[in-house]
A and B are shown apart, each in its own frame.
Chain A
Amino acid sequence: MQFEGEHLLPGRIGHFFVLLAFVASIISTIAYFIAARKTDLVEKRSWLNFARIAFTTQLVSAVIIFIAIFYICANHYFEYMYAYKHASKELEPKYLLACIWEGQEGSFLLWAIWHSILGIFIIFRSKEWEAPVMTVISLAQFFLLMMLLGFYVGDVRLGSNPFTLTRNEITGPIFSQPNYLTFIKDGVGLNVLLRNYWMVIHPPVLFLGFAATIIPFAYAYAGIQTKRFGDWVTPALPWALFSACVLGVGIMMGGKWAYESLSFGGYWAWDPVENASLVPWMILIAGLHTMVIFKATGHSLKASYLFAFLSFIFILYSTFLTRTGVLGDTSVHAFTDAGKAINIMILLFVAAFTLPALGLLISNLKKIPTIQKEETTNSREFWMFIGSLVFFLAAIFIIAKTSVPVYNKILGTKIAQPEDVEFSYNKVIVLVAIIIGLLSAVTQYFKYKKTEPGSILKKLAVPTVIAAIITVLLAVFYPLTYYKMGAGFLGAVYVALFATIYAVIANGMYIWTGLNGKLKAAGGSVAHLGFALMIAGILISSSNKNIISSSSANGINLQISGKDPLTKQTDNPLENLTLIRDVPATMGPYEVTYLRDSFGNEKGRRFYELLFQRKEAGTKKVLEQFTLWPDVYIMKDNNMSSNPDTKTYLTKDVFTFISYAINNDVPEDTTQFSIKEMAEGDTAFYSNGIIILNSVVKNPVNEKYNFKPTDAALMADLTLISKDSLHYKAMPLIQVDGMGVNQVDDTVYAQNMYVKFAGVTDGRKVKIGIKESDKLIQYVTLKAYVFPYINLVWLGLIIMALGLIMSAVKRAKLSTFYAALALLLGAAGLFYMFLFAN
């Protein structure tokens, strides 16, 4: 059958380049593999050239594939499955990139493109290391591109091709008609949860981080393959620093995203997806410390190998965890069980890197040079190694816990995560934070090889005292209030707070006392300072996070769970509060009023205007006020997706999101107005109180109306006094003009009441219509938190990233110009993304 209106050319081009890229990746893997083994220089050169051509072909093809997908999505060619699934016409253009990496295929492609670009840098810069390093990168390309093949072996489809046609993928009666495309009005589109600034920039950064971890891995492989067991560390170190920087930033971007646009109420939840990217980063950090030790002293080479291998292996393992659906019921993230074939392919990908790497390491373990004389406990390398080890073990702890669903799959057990998942991590990690904080404060003051203990104590005395003073001052004037988990945990949090403050002060001072202010060499200190500041920010903001919408603050007290061991107060998990329109409610220090709601530009998006006012206790004078506009997408079938809004202060954030909203369009209302005849000063009853007619005003000029003396308008000035003796004003109006009689009704939402000026009687009385209806109630249910000092978290992250860039440019021996450029761009980008965007 000939189908009408299809655009098949971009798909054919795209698919051709998928095949070409795949073949080119095989060729470049083989050619680089052979080149690495040739000793004859002429032969080696010709294999290298061949491999480079293949690799470049593969890069160009990958870029063309990307452009083809972009073109298809941008033009809404819904005959393609990818466009149908991920794009839609109402989608704003800025989300076009996001809908490419929403899909499995698009994100593998993104990853492959980053590998290719990094590969080009390796080709230009790595000289004699090119062949073995590029062998590894090309092999990874082979696996990533295989995911895009959509190639049938028997009945099994290998990978999924992003250019498949909708009519071939899904069955429906419409596909039997040649003009089926005219029925497909729109695509399914980007998941509304993902329509967000962060969805545009977070995946590219995270995948660059993923892609960069392959380089230390590849260098470690090159070290063993060339039998130059120690030489790889020097060229690999700047890459390890680069990748630690990008991956770290990518992970925290995910945190910031979760914090400000998803309604989890925080930036970190120990969700399996978060853990899966955190663990490789932690191992990478451990690895770059052991690499620094090796460069300075010759110790820790075996550990460097292990960590370099494991960080990429855990990247692959995390891909396995998050893409195969094995996590199933344990994560809030929506996973797709993409089918058996792709699961097996990802497993193969993991195995193809894990087994040879660890096999090579074990079989060459004896040949890797080690220093027989061991480190003294007075040396910097000793404590650095301990720190790396603790970091590594913490990573293993996290991944071991995260992998519970995998054990269940293998062993058929039914273990589930504990009741309080976050606490089960926090109670261990807080101990790690203490050790790491103390070590990163103290270790730099040691010298490599051997240090005189006396000089260290002298230099450390000042930062120790300062940190202790700051901690005590904090404890007195700004105590942590995390009583929920008992005194022991709170104590541990305080110790961790001291350790991180100590690390901030000690590293800051070390730049002057240890390095004499030489900022070029201070990358390590700056990164440690930033990391410690970030952890301090996490400790403070999480401990003192305050749920101001909790019902216990509002007089409704429902007894549910147990008592707090410290405060002896009932722990109240009731965190939602319903606001009825125009009725102020107290939330923490604020009086909050839901004023109105309005529609956004996008279909189904609705904004709620919430007025926050902080008033002086006695006089009720408004000290400060601001408005927040949290919004929801209300989709078909009453599905809802919520976007928070945040008021940011320097020292705290007030954060709120809608937890429940229904369609607020006032439905057909059959209740009739009941008419009361009243003279000025008369009183009438309604179900919940009395109504007083204060006066009838002719041509009123007030906050609501503005009439000229020549108009013919009458307004009833009414006061409602409810049973709980609250007063409300209502001002219905009647007006006569050239068009006829015009009535302006008033509404008292708090009393579910419509008020109408129905007319005038003969005896100078006015007719007031009253309608009470519970259909009138407009309300919205929300949660609100105060996060104190959360900016420390983002500031700490930025400082850490800049420190890592400083170290990387120093280790890569970049010229001052490029170093300054890298720092400047990094700083501008980070400050913009984390503190100013939105």
Chain B
Amino acid sequence: MKKTHIIILVSIAALIVTLIVFSAGDFSTYESISSAQKKQGKYVHLIAKLDKTMPVEYDAVNNPNYLSFYAVDSLGGKTKVIFHNSKPTDLEKSERIVMKGSMKGDHFECKDILLKCPSKYKDDKKELEKTVTDQQNSTN
């Protein structure tokens, strides 16, 4: 066997080991609200929606780093969410919220929020149809 072959094999082995060792405990999982509630403190990803029947609390003057709201998921789970950061402005408009963080007792301690908003999806036909209809109504 040639030296290069040995090196290639060793480095590929090293890569695999690195990947496993460095990343084994690293990856998180997608959970539903109820399954996350059973895994208190574990870092998970939640996909949910804003519960529009409950108030969104954010007062930038008193504390710009405190946002709380309620989220519901498609399985009917519901939780309070606390996010220590500024309020993403299109929160109310979002269709879907991906939240990263962990359950702490009664609430979800959120570290990062990703919003999926209909306005960002220009290919969403429904949104375009709504815009067209709005324009017509404003003309009439």
Q: What residues make up the interface of A, taking CB atoms closer than 8 Å to B?
A: 84-86, 103-104, 166, 169-174, 182-186, 188, 191, 329, 332, 334, 336-338, 374-375, 377, 385-386, 389-390, 393, 396-397, 400-401, 404, 414-419, 424, 427-428, 551, 556, 558, 560, 573-578, 580, 637-640, 659-662, 777, 779, 781, 783
Give Cα A688–Cα B64 distance, bound, in whole angstroms: 23
Q: Min CB distance, B111 to chain A, in Å? A: 7
Residues of A within 8 A of B31 (CB): 414
Residues of B within 8 A of A396 (CB): 15
Q: Min CB distance, A324 to chain B, in Å? A: 13
Given A375-B4, A397-B15, A573 and B64 contact (CB-CB distance below 8 Å) = no
Q: Is B23 an interface residue (CB 8 A)?
A: yes
Give Cα A575–Cα B111 distance, bound, in whole angstroms: 12
Q: Within residues 1 to 47 of chain B, which ones have a CB less than 8 A from any CB in chain A? A: 2-4, 7-8, 11-12, 15, 18-19, 22-23, 26-31, 43-45, 47
25 A–B pairs (Cβ distance < 8 Å), ordered by A = A85-B123, A166-B132, A170-B125, A170-B128, A172-B136, A174-B136, A185-B138, A188-B131, A191-B120, A329-B114, A332-B114, A336-B123, A375-B4, A385-B4, A386-B7, A393-B11, A393-B12, A418-B26, A418-B43, A558-B63, A558-B65, A558-B84, A574-B84, A576-B86, A781-B60
Q: Is B68 an interface residue (CB 8 A)?
A: no
Q: Is the CB of A424 within 8 A of B139?
A: no
Minimum-distance CB pairs A-B, first 6: A640-B89, A659-B86, A334-B120, A574-B65, A576-B64, A418-B26
Q: Is the CB of A404 within 8 A of B27?
A: yes
Q: Is the CB of A374 within 8 A of B2?
A: yes
Given A334-B121, A393-B11, A85 and B28 contact (CB-CB distance below 8 Å) = no
Q: Is the CB of A336 within 8 A of B121?
A: yes
Q: Is the CB of A174 within 8 A of B133?
A: yes
Give Cα A166–Cα B135 distance, bound, in whole angstroms: 14
Q: Is B93 an interface residue (CB 8 A)?
A: yes
Q: Is the CB of A660 within 8 A of B8?
A: no
Residues of A within 8 A of B26 (CB): 418, 424
Q: Within residues 88 to 140 of chain B, which ones have a CB less than 8 A from any CB in chain A? A: 89-90, 92-93, 98, 100, 111, 114, 116-117, 119-123, 125, 128-129, 131-133, 135-136, 138-139
Q: Is the CB of A424 within 8 A of B119?
A: no
Residues of A within 8 A of B92 (CB): 637-638
Q: Is B80 an interface residue (CB 8 A)?
A: no
Q: Is the CB of A374 within 8 A of B28?
A: no
Q: Is the CB of A660 within 8 A of B3?
A: no
Q: Is the CB of B85 within 8 A of A575?
A: yes
Q: Is the CB of B15 within 8 A of A560?
A: no
Q: Is the CB of A660 within 8 A of B12?
A: no
Query: How many of chain B's residues have a CB under 8 angstroms from any CB in A?
Result: 58
Q: Is the CB of B139 within 8 A of A336?
A: no
Q: Within residues 45 to 70 of chain B, which ones have a CB less than 8 A from any CB in chain A? A: 45, 47, 58, 60-61, 63-66
Given A334-B121, A660-B89, A556 and B135 contact (CB-CB distance below 8 Å) = no
Q: Is the CB of B123 within 8 A of A172?
A: no
Residues of B within 8 A of A166 (CB): 132
Q: Min CB distance, A378 to chain B, in Å? A: 12
Residues of B within 8 A of A414 (CB): 29-31
Partner of B64 from the list A393, A639, A660 (CB cut-off 8 Å) is A660
Residues of B within 8 A of A336 (CB): 121-123
Q: Is the CB of A417 within 8 A of B27?
A: yes
Q: Is the CB of B135 within 8 A of A184?
A: yes
Give Cα A171–Cα B126 distance, bound, in whole angstroms: 9
Residues of B within 8 A of A574 (CB): 65, 84-85
Give Cα A173–Cα B137 distance, bound, in whole angstroms: 11
Given A416-B27, A416-B44, A576 and B65 contact (CB-CB distance below 8 Å) = yes
Residues of B within 8 A of A188 (CB): 122, 128, 131
Give Cα A404–Cα B61 distance, bound, in whole angstroms: 40
Excluding A418-B23, A575-B85, A637-B93, 14 further A-B contacts by CB distance (< 8 Å) are A85-B122, A170-B128, A188-B128, A329-B98, A393-B12, A414-B31, A415-B28, A417-B45, A418-B43, A419-B43, A424-B26, A558-B66, A576-B64, A662-B60
Give Cα A191–Cα B128 distance, bound, in whole angstroms: 14
Partner of B135 from the list A186, A375, A575 (CB cut-off 8 Å) is A186
Chain A minimum-CB-distance residue to B137: A183
Residues of A within 8 A of B61 (CB): 578, 580, 777, 779
Given A418-B26, A580-B61, A637-B93, A172 and B132 contact (CB-CB distance below 8 Å) = yes
Give the interface centre of B28, B116, B129, B132 by most chain A CB atoms within 10 Å.
B132
Q: Min CB distance, A683 to chain B, in Å? A: 28
Q: Min CB distance, A555 to chain B, in Å? A: 13
Chain B minimum-CB-distance residue to A169: B125
Give Cα A86–Cα B66 distance, bound, in whole angstroms: 36
Given A334-B120, A336-B121, A184 and B89 contact (CB-CB distance below 8 Å) = no
Residues of B within 8 A of A637 (CB): 90, 92-93
Q: Is the CB of A390 within 8 A of B30?
A: no
Residues of B within 8 A of A417 (CB): 27-28, 45
Partner of A660 from the list B45, B86, B123, B138 (CB cut-off 8 Å) is B86
Q: Is the CB of A416 within 8 A of B136?
A: no
Chain B minimum-CB-distance residue to A160: B123
Q: Is the CB of A577 within 8 A of B64?
A: yes
Residues of A within 8 A of B7 (CB): 386, 389
Give Cα A624–Cα B136 distance, bound, in whole angstroms: 54
Q: Min CB distance, B121 to chain A, in Å? A: 6
Give Cα A650–Cα B73 distance, bound, in whole angstroms: 49
Residues of A within 8 A of B29 (CB): 414-416
Residues of A within 8 A of B85 (CB): 573-576, 659
Give the interface centre of B26, B43, B64, B139 by most chain A CB atoms within 10 Å.
B64
Residues of B within 8 A of A638 (CB): 89-90, 92
Q: Min CB distance, B120 to chain A, in Å? A: 4
Chain A minimum-CB-distance residue to B26: A418
Give Cα A661–Cα B88 distance, bound, in whole angstroms: 10
Residues of B within 8 A of A575 (CB): 65, 85
Residues of A within 8 A of B131 (CB): 188
Q: Is the CB of A640 within 8 A of B22?
A: no
Partner of B119 from the list A174, A639, A661, A781 (CB cut-off 8 Å) is A639
Give Cα A419–Cα B112 distance, bound, in whole angstroms: 9
Give the interface centre of A86, A332, A428 by most chain B CB atoms within 10 Å.
A428
Q: Is the CB of B11 within 8 A of A389?
A: yes
Residues of A within 8 A of B125 (CB): 169-170
Give Cα A576–Cα B3 distance, bound, in whole angstroms: 55
Give Cα A404–Cα B45 distance, bound, in whole angstroms: 14
Give Cα A510–Cα B52 distance, bound, in whole angstroms: 65
Residues of A within 8 A of B114 (CB): 329, 332
Given A186-B135, A428-B22, A415 and B27 contact (CB-CB distance below 8 Å) = yes
Partner of A419 from the list B84, B87, B111 (CB cut-off 8 Å) is B111
Q: Min CB distance, B81 to chain A, in Å? A: 15
Give Cα A337–Cα B121 distance, bound, in whole angstroms: 9
Q: Is the CB of A640 within 8 A of B135?
A: no
Q: Min CB distance, A443 to chain B, in Å? A: 15
Q: Is the CB of B98 within 8 A of A551?
A: no
Chain B minimum-CB-distance residue to A638: B89
Given A393-B11, A578-B61, A640-B89, A171 and B129 contact (CB-CB distance below 8 Å) = yes
